[in-house]
Amino acid sequence: MKDEITAIATATVSNVACGFDIMGFAIDKPVDKVKIRFTKKPGIKIKKIKGDNGKLPLDMRKNTLGVAVQSLANYLNFKDGLEIELYKQMPLGSGLGSSAASAVAGVFALNELLGKPLQKEDLLPFALDGEKITSGGVLHADNVAPSLYGGFVVIRSTNPLDVIRIPTPKNLFCTVIHPHIEIKTSKARKILSKQIPLKKAVLQWGNVAGLIAGLMKSDFDLISRSLQDVIIEPQRSALIPGYYDIKNSALNAGALGVNISGSGPSIFALSTSDELAKKIGVLMKKVLNKICIDSDLYISTINHKGPRII
Amino acid sequence: MKDEITAIATATVSNVACGFDIMGFAIDKPVDKVKIRFTKKPGIKIKKIKGDNGKLPLDMRKNTLGVAVQSLANYLNFKDGLEIELYKQMPLGSGLGSSAASAVAGVFALNELLGKPLQKEDLLPFALDGEKITSGGVLHADNVAPSLYGGFVVIRSTNPLDVIRIPTPKNLFCTVIHPHIEIKTSKARKILSKQIPLKKAVLQWGNVAGLIAGLMKSDFDLISRSLQDVIIEPQRSALIPGYYDIKNSALNAGALGVNISGSGPSIFALSTSDELAKKIGVLMKKVLNKICIDSDLYISTINHKGPRII
């Protein structure tokens, strides 16, 4: 048995246009890195966090990663000592599932450190326990599940939890741009109307059906037609300066679809080649440059591996 | 070239629990039968209608079948004479797509009579023209499209029209019971709330995604978990006496899912064997018998053939 494990878990794009609160997929980068080692003194502590600009609490009970790791330790009846180091390699509050990635890397690392008592898939509830504290106790699995499982997933239900893996076509590439503005998830949720017109809901679930069928049939045209959001995007896009210019520049270049990643401000575009994904990234960045907003760019395939030991 | 063609088109189950206004599938029976023959006198006429208890108009402009056939004739620039006979073999206002079946049988028969100038799939807009007059000009394709295409379809969008075929597992059987009460589609639509809670919409599109994935993966368990409707059923079930007793009797017997067919009053149940489908039918009928409501019962597979010449 090793004394120390270092694991990474990947960022995720959730909502995916029409699939508000039910869909997400993993991308190759950015990632979060978590190191866990045994200590002689009993109890679990977060020893240090790097890359968060001092924003994340070291208090185990207030930190997504801490709550997730503690939840798994409790389940496994682990009473010895552990110390955790978190290396944030992705931006906070970016809409890329940053807290989910930390939680997933944490439970994955602890499970490995203890000799794999659980299957990877069974780690989901513990990672979710961590994620709950970022959303006021409400269960949102659309970042944690794809980060843990890899690939594209549907959260059919959170009560009971029902996660479905959706096969995706080869040659599906993702461009993600993260504009350097901050949107609090809680604010992005607060602005949403609690009631929606039935007519728009029908359009939305038509697109949900189309997107799932398109992914499973490898029908890029259908994927493209279905990557529409008539409910959330019209409300949240107002929080992202230049949003529709960015979107249109990507669509004009040949993106299959463009939308807000999670609750934003990151924006994702899907396309059919690495070359096109890069070209789209350059164009998106250009729009943000024009309005003097710095940004990070990530070009990636759909990540099917999930978290891993490094 | 023949002088006369007789075609049948099948009933359809639309909405399919979570897929209000976007999903439908064809069943083997009941069917509508349409006979079309050339006449010497120019112009198109409905000569007779049987099996409708005198409820359907002979006026071409007021009859779904008439409007559909005229629309196709206009498109094909057909100026000669035709007479049409309609043999209704399915109940009106039953929630089984009765008017859609007549329209589909009509355009299919005319196209065959004229030597197949169009592909079957291209007949959709003409059949829909007929269907429009039953819904006050609003386009609903969730009966016409499955009746014409056969199988299970998603109407991703009606503007532009986007119909997607969804593969279904073998061994999927359908029980349909038609209680002898009448519900007008217009009334069934009127009672629906125009606004719905976002939270319920999220549950609904989670189930839509689950159902499409379940059908395409042949995952009966997932199909069963996804056959839920948290929006329409709670409102429309009030129009069907004994609805939840019927539903529970079918679920207890092992149905994958049970819901209202179209706008009702027919109720469908999906199951995995012919034997089970029959057993479910008997149980459903028993509940209606108890409350002194007569009913018709149809046991069927998913029909993949669409309309055909007889």
Give the CATH number for residue B121: 3.30.230.10
Both structure tokens of A213: 């069928």
Short-list A122, A161, A165, CA closest to A146: A165
Decide which of A111, A144, A166 is a domain's last residue.
A166
End-to-end CA distance of chain B: 16
The three-class DSSP label of residue B5 is: strand
B306 found inside a domain: no
Q: Is B182 a catalytic residue?
A: no
Q: Chain B contact for A154, CB < 8 A?
A: yes
**What is the per-residue pLDDT for B1?**
66
Cα gap B130→A17, rounded to integer Å: 34
CA gyration radius, chain A: 19
pLDDT in tens, B280-306: 999 999 999 999 999 999 999 999 999
Average pLDDT, chain B: 95
Same-domain check for residues A162 and A221: no
- Quote the minimal CA–CA distance from A116 to chain B in Å: 28
Please return the burial class of A158, using the count of CB atoms within 10 Å of its CB with bins 0-12, 13-18 and 19+.
buried
Amino acid at A116: K
Given CB atoms, is B29 within the 8 Å cutoff of chain A?
A: no
pLDDT at B132: 85
pLDDT digits 0-9 by tens, A258-280: 999 999 999 999 999 999 999 99
Is residue B140 very low, low, confident or very high in pLDDT (cuts 50, 70, 90)?
A: confident
DSSP H helices in chain A: 64-75, 98-113, 124-132, 144-149, 185-190, 198-217, 220-226, 233-236, 243-253, 274-290
Q: What would you report as the CA-atom Rg of chain B, rounded to the nearest whole angstrom?
A: 19
- If asked whether residues B136 and B47 sit together in one domain, one would say yes
CB atoms within 10 A of CB B199: 13
Residue B212 CB-half CA count within 13 A: 31
Which among A145, A166, A187 is the end of a domain? A166
- Residues B99 and B223 placed together within one structural domain of the fold: no
A131 assigned to active site: yes
pLDDT of residue B134: 78
Q: Which of B166, B192, B217 is the last residue of a domain?
A: B166
For residue A23, the model assigns a pLDDT of 98
In a domain, A256, yes or no: yes
How many domains is chain B partitioned into structurally?
A: 2
Name the residue in chain A with its Cα closest to that of B206. Answer: A156
In the structure encoding, which two tokens stand for residue A95, read together? 């809409």
Measured CA to CA, the distance from residue A290 to residue B128 in angstroms comes to: 48
Mark whether A122 and A86 lie in a shared domain. yes
pLDDT of residue A186: 77
Indicate the DSSP class of residue A302: B
E runs forming strands in chain B: 4-14, 23-39, 43-50, 81-87, 152-158, 161-166, 173-179, 195-197, 257-260, 267-271, 295-301, 308-309
CB B256 within 8 A of CB B220: yes
pLDDT at res. B137: 67
- A113 burial type by CB count under 10 A (0-12 exposed, 13-18 middle, 19+ buried): buried
Instruction: Nearest chain A residue to B156 by CA: give it.
Output: A206
| Nearest CB to B155; choose among A164, A195, A206 | A206
pLDDT of residue B138: 72
Average pLDDT over residues B110-128: 96
Taking contacts as CB-CB distances below 8 angstroms, the residues of chain A near B140 are: none
Q: Does residue B123 register a pLDDT over 80?
A: yes
Q: Look up residue B235 and give its two tokens.
A: 């409102």
Name the one residue in this structure whose structure tokens are 């008997």.
B282
- In this structure, the answer to whether residues B253 and B193 fall within a common structural domain is yes
> Measured between CB atoms, which of B164, B192, B225 is closest to A213?
B164
d(CA B227, CA B206): 11
Cβ neighbours of B192 in A, within 8 Å: 198
Q: Which pLDDT band, with edges at 50, 70 and 90, does B93 fall under?
A: confident
Both B184 and B269 in a single domain? Answer: yes
What percent of chain B is predicted at pLDDT more than 70? 99
Residues B28, B137 within the same domain: yes
Q: What is the CATH classification number for the domain harbouring A256?
A: 3.30.70.890
Closest alpha carbon to B106 in B144, B141, B50, B140? B144
Bridge partner list, A257: A270
Asked whether residue A134 is assigned to any structural domain, the reply reads yes
Neighbours of B54 (CB within 10 A): 6
Question: Do B283 and B215 reside in the same domain of the chain?
Answer: yes
Q: Give pLDDT tens digits for A134-164.
A: 776 677 899 999 999 999 999 999 999 999 9
B188 — pLDDT class (breaks 50, 70, 90): confident
* pLDDT at B142 > cutoff 80: yes
The pLDDT assigned to A1 comes to 66
The candidate with the shortest Cα–Cα distance to B150, out of B244, B10, B249, B297, is B10
Summarize the confidence of residues B264-273 as an average pLDDT.
97
Tell me which residues of chain A, numbers 168 to 207, contact chain B at a CB-CB cutoff of 8 Å. Answer: 192-199, 201-207
Q: Is position B211 within any domain?
A: yes
Residues B103 and B215 in one domain: no
In the predicted structure, residue B229 carries a pLDDT above the cut 90: yes
Q: Which residue has the tokens 């943000």?
A: A288
pTM, entire model: 0.96
Q: Which domain holds residue B19?
A: 4-166
Name residues of chain A where pLDDT drops below 50.
none
Q: Is B251 within the bounds of a domain? A: yes
Nearest to B204 among A18, A205, A211 (CB): A205
Given pLDDT bands bounded at 50, 70 and 90, which one contains residue B228? Answer: very high
Q: CA B122 to CA A255: how far, in whole Å?
A: 29
Tell me, yes or no, whether A212 and A262 share the same domain.
yes
Residue B189, pLDDT score: 82
Q: By CB neighbour count within 10 A (0-12 exposed, 13-18 middle, 19+ buried), where does B69 fall?
A: buried
Residues A106 and A219 in one domain: no
Residue B204 lies inside a defined structural domain of this protein: yes
Residue B264 sits in the same domain as residue B242: yes
CB–CB contact B19 A166 (8 Å): no
Look at residue B80 in the predicted model and tell me its pLDDT: 95
Give CA–CA dist A276/A252, Å, rounded. Answer: 11
Nearest CA in chain B to A20: B202
Q: Which amino acid is at A18?
A: C
